[in-house]
Amino acid sequence: MTQDAPQVLLVEDDPTLGLLLHDVLRLDGFKVTLVRDGLEALPTFHAGRFDLALLDVMLPGRDGFELTQDLRVVAPHLPIVLLTARDRVEDRVHGLKCGADDYVIKPFDNEELLLRLRSVLKRNQQGQAEPRVLALGDLRYDPESYEITWSGGERRLTPKEGDVLKILLQRAGRTTERDLICRMVWGASGYFVGRSLDVYINRLRKILKADPKVTLRTLHGVGFRLDGPAGEAP
């Protein structure tokens, strides 16, 4: 968790409740980014540095259960709280199995919600902060400046090149599905978005040749895998 006010990604499609939660969280010292669509949430998360996600379950585009599963792939330690009127035991169990840390039923008491958010943050804050610079082999990548450096060279990536590389570095040594990258970066998946992804993968493959120990592999029909010796961020 960052040292400043906790950054919360709030995903709620109900305009009235969304604004209410936004104000309640801000008054309690959180910094809040509010989005109202399940597909919009992933690119927003990927472009920022969030300490907690508060997700409604019933969302357009991609529901809270699916969002939780996506976020768990790229942010395994991110505190995630689901917010829903679905109070069946099966729904709560399903939410927790998807990777949520807590499940809050509507209607809720504001004070109880804040206490539960603080509790989840406290459980997850020690030693889980995402490094500012991501490293693999001799490569160093700063997602905030989009700069990639290596021994003897440097380059500033385009935002989309950088967003794709960030996911691959976060999951170095593991296969990342094409559709997940498309949703995280573009907010959608499909043929035309997939073609755009292939363009950026080809660009990155050329850039990553700067370190011959790093390999960007394509697993046809599945996704991509970035392999190389572990690097240490400064």
Reported as a single tens digit per residue, the pLDDT across 146-161 is 999 998 899 999 999 9
d(CA 134, CA 231): 8
Q: How confident is the model at residue 1 (pLDDT cuts 50, 70, 90)?
A: very low
Q: Read off the tokens for 85.
A: 């009127």
The overall average pLDDT reported for the chain is 90
Numbered ranges of CATH 1.10.10.10 in the chain: 134-227
Position 191 scores a pLDDT of 76
| Non-local CB neighbours of 62 within 8 Å, separated by 6+ positions | 38, 39, 41, 42, 70, 183
Position 3 scores a pLDDT of 53
CATH code assigned to 134-227:
1.10.10.10
d(CA 165, CA 142): 10
d(CA 168, CA 81): 25
Position 128 scores a pLDDT of 56
CATH code assigned to 7-124:
3.40.50.2300
Query: Smallest Cα–Cα separation from 40: which of 60, 57, 21, 54?
Result: 60
d(CA 95, CA 101): 9
pTM of the entire predicted model: 0.83
Position 234 scores a pLDDT of 55
Whether the pLDDT of residue 173 is over 90: the answer is: yes
Whether the pLDDT of residue 108 is over 60: the answer is: yes
Numbered ranges of CATH 3.40.50.2300 in the chain: 7-124
Whether the pLDDT of residue 14 is over 90: the answer is: yes
